[in-house]
Amino acid sequence: MAAIWFVSGTPSPPRLPGSVSDVTAHFLAYGSLGAAMLRGVAGAEWARVSVGGALLAAALSAAYGVTDELHQSFVPGRTPELRDVAADALGSAAGAGLVWAWSIVLAVRARRHAG
């Protein structure tokens, strides 16, 4: 979260390598945040990952994206954009969703090895 806040507070953020678009960068950054947020919500225990936790993590991460865009309105040379908020929300949901799906894979594997 600190890295996202720092970059969004930079009047002229660093250019992304290659042809990575700003929207893609938002999606990936917030996907990582959504995944990390779910691990935090679950207390870093795979068995505690749930749909409700995934929804909470995605919502918290997306809400952070909204505050980040508002933050940019105070930074010279930066402007908040709705498409960035959308990419943040979609990335947050995708990241949390992937962690939730992976927790199911791990649970199925554990059951197979136990029985």
Give start and end residues of each alpha helix (H) in the chain.
Answer: 2-8, 22-41, 51-72, 82-114
Nearest to 33 by CA among 10, 3, 73: 3
What's the mean per-residue pLDDT of the chain?
93
Kindly state the average pLDDT of the residues 69-81: 93
Q: Which tokens hold the place of 91?
A: 């990335």
Q: Which tokens hold the place of 85?
A: 């908020």
Kindly state the average pLDDT of the residues 63-91: 96
Q: Is the pLDDT of residue 55 over 90?
A: yes
- Which amino acid belongs to residue 112? R
For residue 81, the tally of other CB atoms under 10 A from its CB is 14
Domain ranges of the chain: 22-114
Note the pLDDT of residue 25: 92
Structural contact between residues 41 and 56, judged by C-beta atoms closer than 8 angstroms: yes
Note the pLDDT of residue 92: 98
Q: Mean pLDDT: which of 19-23, 41-45, 62-66 is highest?
A: 62-66
Residue 23, burial from CB neighbour count under 10 angstroms (0-12, 13-18, 19+): middle
